[in-house]
C-alpha cells in the first residue's frame, strides 16, 4: 500500500453484489479480444504489426481491445527521442516468452502451433487467426465500463461492472484497467513517416497496478462493481497526456495470465463542476501496534466555487465512526492538509481504514467518486532488540531525514540529511517493551528518487521493507509486545542456498495448501529483474532453481508472493 500517495492519485471502491447493474449486460456473450502488442520505435516491422492489429479492430470494433506496449530493446529511445515505455511493460512481456518483434498475445492465451516459442507470444501473421478463434468462444463473464474526464481538473473517473453469466474455473479473477492514448506523433523505424509516425493505442498507465485487483465472487449471477478516481498527469516520461486522445480499457484475467474478456469504456468529457471536494491522498502507517490512529488527509478542491467547509467521517476495522468538520477557504485546485481526530482500535494482523467526505459548503458533491478512501494497515511484526535501519536515495540525499520515536514522541535515534547518495546503514537498540514509530521524510517529494528503505536484524537479514511514498512515510515497530496476528502462512521453511550465489541457487520450501505462488527476484531499487515461477503449486515440499546468469554482482531479494503473504529473502550474487 502506498503510504503517502502522490498528487497523481488513484482510489478504488469495489463490491460484489446481486443488485441490478447499469453498465454491463446479463445475457451470455462470446469473448472479446484483448490484443497486447509488444512494439518499439526502432522496430522496422512493427508498423506492419500495427496495421494488422488495426485491421482486426476495424472488422470488430465492438469486440476488440488493442493495447500497444513499448518494451524491449527496440523501445529504448536514443538521444532526444521520446520514451514511450512504462513501468508495467517489462513484466507483461516477460511472461509472454517473446522471441522476435513485433510480438503479440491474444488474450494472453497459449495457442499451440502459433507461438513464437513456448510462450503466449505470437508473430503478427497469427493474430487474425487466433483472434477469430477467441471471438467464437463463449465467455462466462461480461465486462462493461464507462469513464468521465473533467477537463479543467484532469480528473478521470472509471466505473466498471463485471457480470458472471457462468461460473469461473478460478475462485478469484483479476480486473485490469488501462489508460491508453492515441495520435501520439513520434519517431518510428519503418512506416514511412519518420518522426511524425502516428502511434495509436499506446499504454500509458495501469490504474489497477501490474496485475489488477482481485474479484473474489466468480460464480454465475455475481456482479462486481468498481470505481476508480485518478488525476491524470500532464505527461508520462515527458510525453504529453492529451485528454481528448485517451481511451480506457477494462479486462478480466484468470490469475495473472489468461484474459477472459475485455472492453473499451465509453468516455464522457465535461469541463468542470461547481462543488467537488476530494480526498486526494491519505497518510496512515504501513503497519500498526499502538492502537491509535489519526489519519492525515490531503483535501483538494476540484470545484469552481471556493470551498469553505467539508464533513469527514472515518472508521477503523468497522468500529466507531469518527466525525469531523473542516473549515477554511480553498480556491479551485488548491489543497490543504487535514488531520482527523484520533480513533482507538485493537491492532490486528490486517486493519482496514475507511474515510469519506461529503457536503462541500453544505451542497451535494457533483463528483462523489473521489470522496472515499479505503486502505489497510498491517499489524506490526515483533522486532528483535538490535536492528539496523537502511536507507538509500538515488538523488537529493540532503533532503532525507528520519527518526524513530516512542509513544511519547521522544527520539530514540535519527539520521540525515546526507551529503552523498548511496546506502546509509544505522544500528539501533529498542530500550524497552513498547510500540515505536519510524518516520521517513523526503523534502523533495520524490520518495528517495526511486531508492528504498528497510530494517534488518543484527545479522543483516531483511525483516521489513518500506512501501513507496512521496513526502513522508511512517510505520509502527513493535518490540517485546504481541500484536494479534492471525496465522495465515501457506509457505514454510523457505531456504535459499548457496548464499552468496555463484551461478545457481536452490529454493526449497513447503506449502501447507494448494497455492498460487509467484517467485521473483528484485534488485535493491525494488525493480523486478527475474521471474522464477508463476503458477499454482500443490501442497508439500518444492525445489526450484534460480539461474543467476545475467545478474550483476551485488545484493538482491527473492520474493515469494501468495494470496496470503509475502516472504522476502536476501541473496548476494557473487561471481
Range of the domain at 556: 491-573
Q: Which of 97-111, 303-317, 431-445, 503-517 has the lowest mean pLDDT?
A: 503-517
Q: What is the pLDDT of residue 185?
A: 97
**In the listed set 377, 397, 419, which residue is the last one of a domain according to the structure?**
377
Examine residue 4 and state whether it is found in any structural domain, yes or no. Answer: no
Q: What is the pLDDT of residue 575?
A: 58
Average pLDDT, the chain: 90
Examine residue 320 and state whether it is found in any structural domain, yes or no. Answer: yes
Place of cell 481511451: 247
Q: What is the 3-state secondary structure (H, E, C) of 267-328?
A: EEEECCCCCCEEEEEEECCCEECCCEECCEEEEEECCCCCEEEEEEEEEECCCCCEEEEEEE
151 and 293 co-located in one domain: no
Q: What is the pLDDT of residue 571?
A: 84
Contact 119, 188 (CB under 8 A): no
pLDDT band at 348, cuts 50/70/90?
A: confident
Buried b (16+ CB within 10 A) or exposed e, 158-183: bbbbbbbbeebebeebbbbbbbbbbe
Question: Is the pLDDT reported for residue 19 higher than 90?
Answer: no
Q: Which of 22-31, 240-249, 325-334, 342-351 has the lowest mean pLDDT?
A: 342-351
The whole-number average pLDDT for the span 179-192 is: 96
**In the listed set 423, 455, 479, which residue is the last one of a domain according to the structure?**
479
**Residues 6 or more apart in contact with residue 304 via CB below 8 angstroms:** 152, 272, 273, 274, 332
**Residues 6 or more apart in contact with residue 487 via CB below 8 angstroms:** none
Burial of 301 (0-12, 13-18, 19+ CB in 10 A): buried
pTM: 0.76
Alpha helices in 60-108 (DSSP H): 89-94
Give the residue from 449, 490, 489, 491 showing the smallest Cα distance to 470.
449
Give the residue from 117, 96, 114, 116 showing the smallest Cα distance to 534.
96
202 and 55 co-located in one domain: yes
The whole-number average pLDDT for the span 299-305 is: 96
Helix, strand, coil abundance in the chain, percent, nearest 5:
10, 50, 40
* Residue 122, strand partner residues: 104, 115
Q: How many CA atoms lie within 13 A of 542 on its CB side?
A: 23
Total number of domains constituting the chain: 4
* Residue 76, strand partner residues: none
Q: Which of 85-89, 382-386, 519-523 has the lowest mean pLDDT?
A: 519-523
Contact 185, 160 (CB under 8 A): no
Rounded to an integer, what distance in angstroms lies between the CA atom of residue 439 and that of residue 445? 14
Question: Is the pLDDT reported for residue 540 higher than 50?
Answer: yes
Question: Is the pLDDT reported for residue 9 higher than 70?
Answer: no
Give the residue from 244, 252, 300, 248 showing the smallest Cα distance to 276.
300
Q: What is the pLDDT of residue 484?
A: 57
118 and 256 co-located in one domain: yes
422 and 500 co-located in one domain: no
164 and 27 co-located in one domain: yes
Q: Write the CATH number for 151.
A: 2.60.40.10
Question: Is the pLDDT reported for residue 349 higher than 90?
Answer: no
Give 497-534 pLDDT, tens digit per residue: 887 788 888 898 888 888 888 898 887 656 678 889 88
The whole-number average pLDDT for the span 363-383 is: 92
Give 274-293 pLDDT, tens digit per residue: 999 999 889 999 999 999 99
Burial of 196 (0-12, 13-18, 19+ CB in 10 A): exposed
Contact 174, 255 (CB under 8 A): yes
* Cell numbers at 6, concatenated: 502522490
Within 458-498, strands assigned E span: 462-465, 472-479, 491-497
User: In degrees rounded to 5, what are phi and psi of residue 33?
Assistant: -85, 135
Q: Write the CATH number for 549.
A: 2.60.40.3080
Q: Which of 50-64, 477-491, 541-555 has the highest mean pLDDT?
A: 50-64
Question: Is the pLDDT reported for residue 419 higher than 90?
Answer: yes
Q: What is the pLDDT of residue 487?
A: 41
Q: What is the pLDDT of residue 451?
A: 82
Pairing mode of beta strands 197-199, 246-254 = unpaired
* Cell numbers at 36, concatenated: 497486447
Within 165-257, strands assigned E span: 173-181, 184-186, 197-199, 202-206, 213-215, 223-231, 235-236, 239-240, 246-254
**Residues 6 or more apart in contact with residue 238 via CB below 8 angstroms:** 82, 83
Determine which helix (DSSP H) or strand (DSSP E) holds 16, and give its type and residue range: strand 10-17
Rounded to an integer, what distance in angstroms lies between the CA atom of residue 42 and that of residue 27? 44
Question: Is the pLDDT reported for residue 37 higher than 50?
Answer: yes
69 and 204 co-located in one domain: yes
264 and 295 co-located in one domain: no
Q: Write the CATH number for 399.
A: 2.60.40
Examine residue 536 and state whether it is found in any structural domain, yes or no. Answer: yes
Contact 255, 185 (CB under 8 A): no
pLDDT band at 481, cuts 50/70/90?
A: confident
* Cell numbers at 294, concatenated: 489519526
472 and 505 co-located in one domain: no
**In the listed set 421, 452, 479, which residue is the last one of a domain according to the structure?**
479
Examine residue 14 and state whether it is found in any structural domain, yes or no. Answer: yes
Examine residue 107 and state whether it is found in any structural domain, yes or no. Answer: yes
Rounded to an integer, what distance in angstroms lies between the CA atom of residue 284 and that of residue 394? 25
323 and 402 co-located in one domain: no
Rounded to an integer, what distance in angstroms lies between the CA atom of residue 503 and that of residue 548? 5
366 and 433 co-located in one domain: no
Length of the chain: 575
The whole-number average pLDDT for the span 398-427 is: 94
pLDDT band at 421, cuts 50/70/90?
A: confident
Examine residue 134 and state whether it is found in any structural domain, yes or no. Answer: yes
Rounded to an integer, what distance in angstroms lies between the CA atom of residue 223 and that of residue 142? 10
Geometric angle at alpha carbon 470, from 467 and 476, rounded to 5°: 45
Q: Which of 389-393, 488-492, 523-527, 547-551 has the highest mean pLDDT?
A: 389-393
The CA distances from residue 117 to 34, 103, 132, 350, in Å, are: 20, 11, 21, 42
221 and 137 co-located in one domain: yes
Examine residue 485 and state whether it is found in any structural domain, yes or no. Answer: no
416 and 495 co-located in one domain: no
Amino acid at each position: 500500500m502506498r503510504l503517502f500517495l502522490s498528487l497523481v492519485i488513484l482510489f478504488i471502491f469495489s463490491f460484489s453484489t446481486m443488485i441490478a447493474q447499469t453498465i454491463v449486460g446479463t445475457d451470455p456473450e462470446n469473448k472479446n479480444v484483448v490484443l497486447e502488442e509488444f512494439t518499439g520505435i526502432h522496430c522496422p516491422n512493427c508498423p506492419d504489426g500495427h496495421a494488422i492489429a488495426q485491421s482486426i479492430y476495424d472488422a470488430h470494433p465492438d469486440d476488440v481491445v488493442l493495447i500497444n506496449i513499448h518494451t524491449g530493446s527496440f523501445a529504448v529511445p536514443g538521444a532526444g527521442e521520446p520514451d514511450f515505455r512504462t513501468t508495467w511493460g517489462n513484466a507483461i512481456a516477460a511472461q509472454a516468452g517473446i522471441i522476435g518483434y513485433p510480438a503479440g498475445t491474444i488474450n494472453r492465451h497459449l495457442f499451440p502451433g502459433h507461438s513464437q516459442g513456448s510462450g503466449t507470444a505470437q508473430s503478427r501473421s497469427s493474430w487474425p487467426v487466433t483472434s477469430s478463434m477467441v471471438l467464437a468462444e463463449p465467455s462466462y463473464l461480461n465486462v462493461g465500463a464507462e469513464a468521465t474526464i473533467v477537463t479543467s481538473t484532469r480528473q478521470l473517473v472509471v466505473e466498471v461492472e463485471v457480470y458472471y453469466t457462468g461460473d469461473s474455473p478460478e475462485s478469484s479473477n483479476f480486473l485490469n484497467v488501462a489508460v491508453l492514448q492515441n495520435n501520439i506523433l513520434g519517431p518510428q523505424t519503418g512506416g514511412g513517416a519518420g518522426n511524425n509516425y502516428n502511434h495509436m493505442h499506446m499504454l500509458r498507465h495501469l490504474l489497477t497496478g501490474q496485475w489488477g485487483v482481485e474479484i473474489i465472487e466468480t460464480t454465475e449471477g455475481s456482479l462486481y462493481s468498481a470505481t476508480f478516481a485518478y488525476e491524470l498527469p500532464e505527461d508520462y516520461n515527458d510525453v504529453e497526456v492529451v485528454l481528448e486522445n485517451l481511451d480506457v480499457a477494462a479486462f478480466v484475467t484468470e490469475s495473472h495470465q489468461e484474459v477472459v474478456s475485455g472492453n473499451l469504456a465509453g468516455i464522457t468529457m465535461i469541463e468542470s463542476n461547481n462543488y467537488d471536494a476530494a480526498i486526494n491522498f491519505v497518510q496512515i502507517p504501513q503497519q500498526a501496534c499502538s492502537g491509535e490512529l489519526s489519519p492525515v488527509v490531503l483535501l483538494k478542491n476540484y470545484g469552481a466555487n471556493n470551498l469553505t467547509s467539508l464533513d469527514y467521517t472515518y472508521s477503523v476495522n468497522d468500529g466507531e465512526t469518527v466525525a469531523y468538520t473542516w473549515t477554511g477557504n480553498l480556491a479551485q485546485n488548491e489543497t490543504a492538509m487535514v488531520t482527523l481526530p484520533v480513533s482507538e482500535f485493537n491492532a490486528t494482523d490486517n486493519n482496514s481504514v475507511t474515510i469519506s467526505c461529503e457536503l462541500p459548503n453544505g451542497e451535494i458533491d457533483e463528483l462523489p467518486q473521489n470522496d472515499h478512501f479505503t486502505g489497510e494497515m498491517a499489524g506490526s511484526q515483533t522486532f528483535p532488540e538490535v536492528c539496523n535501519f537502511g536507507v538509500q536515495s538515488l538523488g537529493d540525499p540532503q533532503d532525507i531525514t528520519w527518526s524513530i520515536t516512542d509513544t511519547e514522541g521522544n527520539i530514540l535515534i535519527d539520521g540525515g540529511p546526507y551529503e552523498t547518495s548511496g546506502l546509509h546503514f544505522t544500528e539501533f537498540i529498542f530500550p524497552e517493551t513498547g510500540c515505536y514509530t519510524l518516520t521517513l521524510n523526503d523534502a523533495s517529494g520524490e520518495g528517495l528518487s526511486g531508492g528504498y528503505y528497510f530494517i534488518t536484524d543484527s545479522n543483516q537479514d531483511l525483516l521489513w521493507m518500506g512501501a513507496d511514498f512521496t513526502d513522508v512515510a511512517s510505520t509502527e515497530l513493535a518490540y517485546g509486545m504481541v500484536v494479534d496476528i492471525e496465522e495465515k502462512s501457506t509457505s514454510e521453511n523457505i531456504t535459499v542456498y548457496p548464499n552468496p550465489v555463484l551461478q545457481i541457487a536452490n529454493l526449497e520450501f513447503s506449502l501447507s495448501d494448494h497455492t498460487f505462488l509467484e517467485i521473483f527476484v528484485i534488485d535493491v531499487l525494488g525493480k523486478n529483474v527475474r521471474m522464477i515461477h508463476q503458477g499454482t503449486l500443490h501442497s508439500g515440499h518444492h525445489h526450484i532453481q534460480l539461474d543467476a546468469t545475467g545478474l550483476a554482482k551485488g545484493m538482491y531479494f527473492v520474493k515469494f508472493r501468495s494470496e496470503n503473504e509475502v516472504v522476502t529473502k536476501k541473496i548476494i550474487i557473487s561471481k
